[in-house]
Chain A
Amino acid sequence: MTKLFLRPASWLAAGLILGGLVGFTSLPELAPYHDGDEKLGGDTTVYETGRNAFSLSAANMASERQTRFFVGNSFFKKAWVEAPSSTTARDGLGPHFIARSCGACHALDGRGAPPQFDKQLQAEQPMALLFRLSVPGASGPQPEPNYGGQFNNDAIPGVKPEGKVQISYQPQTGSFPDGEPFELLQPQYRFTELGYGPLHPQVQVSPRIAPQMIGLGLLEAIREQDILANARAQAAANLGVSGRANYVPDAYAGKTMIGRFGWKANVATIAHQSAGAFNGDIGITSRHFAQEECLPAQRDCRQAARGGKPEIPKDKLDAVIFYSRTLAVPAQREADSAEVRRGKWLFSQAQCSSCHVASYTTGPLRGLPEVSGQKISPYTDLLLHDMGPGLADGRPDGLASGQEWKTPPLWGIGLFADVNGHTRYLHDGRARTLSEAILWHGGEAEAAKQRFMAFNKTDRAALLRFLESL
């Protein structure tokens, strides 16, 4: 027996066996990488980082269509001015508004941030963070009687703004199972210096931050049947995830359609979203949104000067809509690196992918060949989910309850720092890091969050690295 131990061959055999055993248990699992996986936006994908990353036209856009893109860009980003003005193409701002242009909130076509604080004091009024208002009604939520469907904290001279928004944050501390501490900020919103009397005692408020503008035409081209298939798959998996579609009236289609856009999937088409936002956020009228949002009690608003009828003509609005639908999605960075692939595998393990559905092939979208038939990876099921009381706003929207939110797409999420100089996430920008954003997940997402929390530090870092690559 002793002689066996001393033979070199025995040592070799033992070494190989031990080595094999050790190797087998410590090989980390990685998601596969295939050439082209980084093209999150299919053929619209651009390879760009930095501040211009969200502002490029779809890479597959024909050169003759670029002009319309530029016209749309111009009317998206340039300030609207009070009427009357020499530049009649761009006047009609207000009378009530929250921003002077689309680009003011969707800066560089990117994600808005909540107001800055300077030594614990709120340094500015929110602009990229808007507040939807409503009161409960017999047949669903109604606009607040004196302030309407949205709080406007700015106005043209001679008209009172609706008031000011004061924000404060309550810290909540906790720790991961491995002991690492974290802090979350719970926002509270108050309305002060009200211009038209007190708010209704049962007012419902929903803070909504401006999301990034990339890939919107692609989302519009996802087939309705694929969205509904997501819901069926979740129900069948029976894991506590039960997404459902929102159905909302669309001004352009003149009928009710599946919602895809907005934080509660409360808008069906980019056309409706653009025209609605022009009207609600900037005070610019158009064919389908022909009235200024001035309430009966807001006499100064009702009497203020108007721009043309409508303030944005059809062809310019159509250009803005075209622009909004054809902004390119930047490619995933370092998609083939081990850490990103590890994070992607863990994303699936934790079942984040139940709601943040990775891939689709888009259907045809009339007039928009750039986005039709594309293999895309938006990481969203476009469905509503109950996210728990911590994130709830208490305000129903269409079929969405006061506790439901639509799964936002994750593409571009790793570029907010590059484009917009901040890292604020979730519907009101309360999360300062991606980790905080995950920690806010509750309700249907509670189990997935717990799985993330239970990962060791290296694995958590890998998952975050994967998110940052998108």
Chain B
Amino acid sequence: MRKTLLAAALLGALLSPVHASAAEVSREAVVQQYSQIVFASYEDSLLTAKALQNAINAFVAAPSEAGLNQARQAWLAAREPYGQTEAFRFYGGPIDDARGPEGQINAWPLDEAYIDGVKGKPTSGVVNNRKVVISKKLLSSLNERGGEENISTGYHAIEFLLWGQDFDSNGAGKRSYTDFVDGQGNNADRRREYLKTAAELLVDDLSYLVAAWQPNSNNFRARFEKKPDALRQMLVGIGVLSRAELAGERIEVALDSRNQEDEHSCFSDNTHRDIATNARGIQNVWLGEYTRVDGSLLKGASLRDLVAASNAKAAERVTADMAATQARAEAIKAPFDQEIVNKDGRSRVQATVAALKKQASSLVEAAKAIGIKKLNVNG
């Protein structure tokens, strides 16, 4: 009789549903899950950047149209995880502290004439000046102090070399692979060298970020996880990206100027993906989730859980707003430079801005539920 009762009790315990909604998470667990996501995102960025570097090295060893296309595809693929890491900016973390490499990795606008020839100045740039030694040192020496952005390195410098200037209103830049072939492109050898060097520098910079966020090291992550204001910083990152940087700086400014090339990935016409991946990165931080490039899913204690424990409605609102933003962002059609100059495109883009503003507001409210008053989202 006792055995049966015991068995029944055990069975009962196993079958009773786990009460999912009010899962208590600790602040520590949320911060740790965030660190995991940041680390994984930078790791994926490094992985895909190395694949980009391999494609570039193969291309410069034997330039061909197929090789150029492969390098371009690798570049587009590398932007997918990187775009999601922009949610980790704006609080002086390793990406953008006083020595942070953000400007060197993602500098925009690019001083095209500083790098290579441009329409109107075909012999300009470091590529065409044989007196200048192309090296990582030269390229990074242009990184100005005091937070100014670099003008000649990073993803967009590589993008410029791979696609060239965009003069096609319906497509991307049309640089020919022959620009990289000795005898066909002017200073082709130096163009190949610049491309290789820029890729090396990018890999170096991303490696630095991976090291800073590695687990079980004496690094920024170790200190971050002990900081009393870590949660606030996490929220500043996604708050400022939502309102000031993505809605404001990147989209509203482009809408306002209607200037076709006032968009971040203007050579490849990939700006619509920049917007979607930036939005995704914000969502990742909120939900404590990240889908890696290999398809695996990281999931754990999240800001959403923490807020929901105090104010379920505020948490739901943010979750819903972010889902709406993601949908709007994904609805923006490529090429972005066409979207901002036609009526329907502008509506789609405006809708994304409105959604981002809404989620920024809800975030400010939600932050109060975990004791963070007056969250700054204006950068």
Chain A residues lying within 8 Å of B144, measured Cβ to Cβ, are 99-100, 104, 127
246-268 of chain B: CB within 8 A of chain A: 247-249, 252-253, 256-257, 259, 261-262, 266-267
Residue A105 at the B interface, CB < 8 A?
yes
Instruction: Please report the C-alpha to C-alpha distance between residue A101 and residue B151 in the assembled complex, in whole angstroms.
Output: 12
Residue B111 at the A interface, CB < 8 A?
yes
Determine how close the nearest CB of chain B comes to the CB of A296; give it in whole angstroms: 25
379-419 of chain A: CB within 8 A of chain B: none
Q: A67-B252, A78-B149 are in contact. Are A56 and B378 (CB under 8 A)?
A: yes
The residue on B at minimum CB distance from A158 is B124
Residue B244 at the A interface, CB < 8 A?
yes
> Is A70's CB under 8 angstroms from B249's CB?
yes
Residue A108 at the B interface, CB < 8 A?
yes
Instruction: Please report the C-alpha to C-alpha distance between residue A346 and residue B252 in the assembled complex, in whole angstroms.
Output: 48
B114, B267, B357: the one within 8 Å of A86 (CB)? B267
Chain B residues lying within 8 Å of A78, measured Cβ to Cβ, are 108-109, 149
Residue B371 at the A interface, CB < 8 A?
no
> Is A103's CB under 8 angstroms from B249's CB?
no
> Is B147's CB under 8 angstroms from A103's CB?
yes
- Please report the number of residue pairs spanning A and B whose Cβ atoms sit closer than 8 angstroms: 134
Residue B176 at the A interface, CB < 8 A?
no
Residue B223 at the A interface, CB < 8 A?
no
Determine how close the nearest CB of chain B comes to the CB of A400; give it in whole angstroms: 28
Segment of A44-52, A180-188, A215-223 engaged in the interface with chain B: A44-52
283-302 of chain B: CB within 8 A of chain A: none
B108, B120, B248: the one within 8 Å of A73 (CB)? B248
Determine how close the nearest CB of chain A comes to the CB of B369; give it in whole angstroms: 19
Determine how close the nearest CB of chain B comes to the CB of A169; give it in whole angstroms: 20
Instruction: Please report the C-alpha to C-alpha distance between residue A431 and residue B149 in the assembled complex, in whole angstroms.
Output: 28
> Is B129's CB under 8 angstroms from A157's CB?
yes
Instruction: Please report the C-alpha to C-alpha distance between residue A86 and residue B112 in the assembled complex, in whole angstroms.
Output: 8
> Is A128's CB under 8 angstroms from B146's CB?
yes
> Is A84's CB under 8 angstroms from B118's CB?
yes
Q: Which range contains the number of B residues in contact with the other chain?
A: 35 or more
> Is B111's CB under 8 angstroms from A81's CB?
yes
Determine how close the nearest CB of chain A comes to the CB of B105; give it in whole angstroms: 15
Q: Which range contains the number of A residues in contact with the other chain?
A: 35 or more
A55, A79, A89, A93: the one within 8 Å of B379 (CB)? A55
B147, B249, B374: the one within 8 Å of A108 (CB)? B147
Chain A residues lying within 8 Å of B253, measured Cβ to Cβ, are 70-71, 74
Q: A48-B376, A157-B124, A305-B121 are in contact. Are A90 and B109 (CB under 8 A)?
A: yes
Residue A10 at the B interface, CB < 8 A?
no
Chain B residues lying within 8 Å of A301, measured Cβ to Cβ, are none
Residue A246 at the B interface, CB < 8 A?
no
> Is B376's CB under 8 angstroms from A46's CB?
yes
> Is A81's CB under 8 angstroms from B112's CB?
yes
Map CB proximity to B onto A5-27 as digits: 1 under 8 Å, 0 otherwise: 00000000000000000000000
Q: A70-B244, A88-B261 are in contact. Are A81 and B108 (CB under 8 A)?
A: no
B148, B261, B267: the one within 8 Å of A107 (CB)? B148
B119, B146, B257, B376: the one within 8 Å of A56 (CB)? B376
Instruction: Please report the C-alpha to C-alpha distance between residue A70 and residue B129 in the assembled complex, in whole angstroms.
Output: 37
Residue A66 at the B interface, CB < 8 A?
yes
Instruction: Please report the C-alpha to C-alpha distance between residue A9 and residue B249 in the assembled complex, in whole angstroms.
Output: 77
Map CB proximity to A onto B124-151 as digits: 1 under 8 Å, 0 otherwise: 1100010000000000000011111101
B114, B129, B261, B374: the one within 8 Å of A82 (CB)? B114
Task: Pick from B111, B114, B256 the residue with the most CB of A within 10 Å.
Answer: B111
> Is B249's CB under 8 angstroms from A81's CB?
no
Chain A residues lying within 8 Å of B357, measured Cβ to Cβ, are 63
A47, A67, A79: the one within 8 Å of B149 (CB)? A79
Determine how close the nearest CB of chain A comes to the CB of B170; give it in whole angstroms: 16
Determine how close the nearest CB of chain B comes to the CB of A350; give it in whole angstroms: 34
Instruction: Please report the C-alpha to C-alpha distance between residue A184 and residue B261 in the assembled complex, in whole angstroms.
Output: 50
Q: A88-B261, A89-B257, A305-B121 are in contact. Are A127 and B111 (CB under 8 A)?
A: no
Q: A56-B378, A67-B248, A86-B266 are in contact. Are A104 and B112 (CB under 8 A)?
A: no
> Is A52's CB under 8 angstroms from B90's CB?
yes
Residue A316 at the B interface, CB < 8 A?
yes
Instruction: Please report the C-alpha to C-alpha distance between residue A108 and residue B249 in the assembled complex, in whole angstroms.
Output: 15
Chain B residues lying within 8 Å of A128, measured Cβ to Cβ, are 146
Instruction: Please report the C-alpha to C-alpha distance between residue A66 and residue B147 in the assembled complex, in whole angstroms.
Output: 23
Chain B residues lying within 8 Å of A67, measured Cβ to Cβ, are 248, 252, 256
Determine how close the nearest CB of chain B comes to the CB of A437; give it in whole angstroms: 21
Residue A87 at the B interface, CB < 8 A?
yes
Instruction: Please report the C-alpha to C-alpha distance between residue A376 and residue B231 in the assembled complex, in whole angstroms.
Output: 33
Residue A421 at the B interface, CB < 8 A?
yes
Residue B193 at the A interface, CB < 8 A?
no
Chain A residues lying within 8 Å of B166, measured Cβ to Cβ, are 86
Residue A85 at the B interface, CB < 8 A?
yes
Residue A266 at the B interface, CB < 8 A?
no
Residue B98 at the A interface, CB < 8 A?
yes
Instruction: Please report the C-alpha to C-alpha distance between residue A55 and residue B109 in the assembled complex, in whole angstroms.
Output: 21
Instruction: Please report the C-alpha to C-alpha distance between residue A71 and residue B249 in the assembled complex, in whole angstroms.
Output: 7
> Is B374's CB under 8 angstroms from A47's CB?
yes
The residue on B at minimum CB distance from A55 is B379
Residue B185 at the A interface, CB < 8 A?
no
Instruction: Please report the C-alpha to C-alpha distance between residue A81 and residue B148 in the assembled complex, in whole angstroms.
Output: 13
Instruction: Please report the C-alpha to C-alpha distance between residue A308 and residue B332 in the assembled complex, in whole angstroms.
Output: 30
Residue A193 at the B interface, CB < 8 A?
no
Determine how close the nearest CB of chain B comes to the CB of A149; give it in whole angstroms: 24
Chain A residues lying within 8 Å of B119, measured Cβ to Cβ, are 84
Determine how close the nearest CB of chain B comes to the CB of A416; give it in whole angstroms: 12
B90, B118, B148: the one within 8 Å of A101 (CB)? B148
> Is B376's CB under 8 angstroms from A84's CB?
no
Chain A residues lying within 8 Å of B257, measured Cβ to Cβ, are 71, 89, 316
70-127 of chain A: CB within 8 A of chain B: 70-71, 73-74, 78-79, 81-90, 93, 99-101, 103-105, 107-108, 112, 124, 127
Residue A230 at the B interface, CB < 8 A?
no
332-379 of chain B: CB within 8 A of chain A: 357, 374, 376, 378-379
Determine how close the nearest CB of chain B comes to the CB of A93; give it in whole angstroms: 8
Instruction: Please report the C-alpha to C-alpha distance between residue A67 and residue B266 in the assembled complex, in whole angstroms.
Output: 22
Instruction: Please report the C-alpha to C-alpha distance between residue A63 and residue B244 in the assembled complex, in whole angstroms.
Output: 12
Q: A78-B149, A79-B109 are in contact. Are A87 and B266 (CB under 8 A)?
A: yes
Chain B residues lying within 8 Å of A372, measured Cβ to Cβ, are none
Instruction: Please report the C-alpha to C-alpha distance between residue A48 and residue B247 in the assembled complex, in whole angstroms.
Output: 22
| 27 chain-A/chain-B pairs, Cβ below 8 angstroms | A51-B92, A63-B357, A66-B378, A67-B248, A67-B256, A71-B253, A73-B248, A73-B249, A78-B149, A81-B109, A81-B110, A85-B112, A86-B118, A86-B166, A86-B267, A87-B110, A89-B262, A90-B262, A100-B144, A100-B151, A104-B144, A104-B146, A107-B146, A124-B145, A157-B114, A157-B129, A305-B121
Point out residues on A near B: beta carbons under 8 Å. Answer: 46-48, 50-52, 55-57, 63, 66-67, 69-71, 73-74, 78-79, 81-90, 93, 99-101, 103-105, 107-108, 112, 124, 127-128, 157-158, 305, 316, 420-421
Nearest first, the 8 closest Cβ-Cβ pairs linking A and B are A70-B248, A107-B146, A84-B120, A81-B111, A104-B148, A87-B109, A89-B259, A82-B113
Q: A79-B151, A127-B145, A421-B98 are in contact. List 20 more A-B contacts (CB 8 A).
A: A52-B240, A52-B376, A63-B357, A69-B248, A71-B256, A73-B249, A74-B253, A81-B113, A81-B114, A82-B111, A83-B120, A84-B118, A84-B119, A84-B121, A87-B262, A88-B259, A103-B147, A103-B148, A128-B146, A157-B125
Point out residues on B near A: beta carbons under 8 Å. Answer: 90, 92, 98, 107-114, 118-121, 124-125, 129, 144-149, 151, 165-166, 236, 240, 244, 247-249, 252-253, 256-257, 259, 261-262, 266-267, 357, 374, 376, 378-379
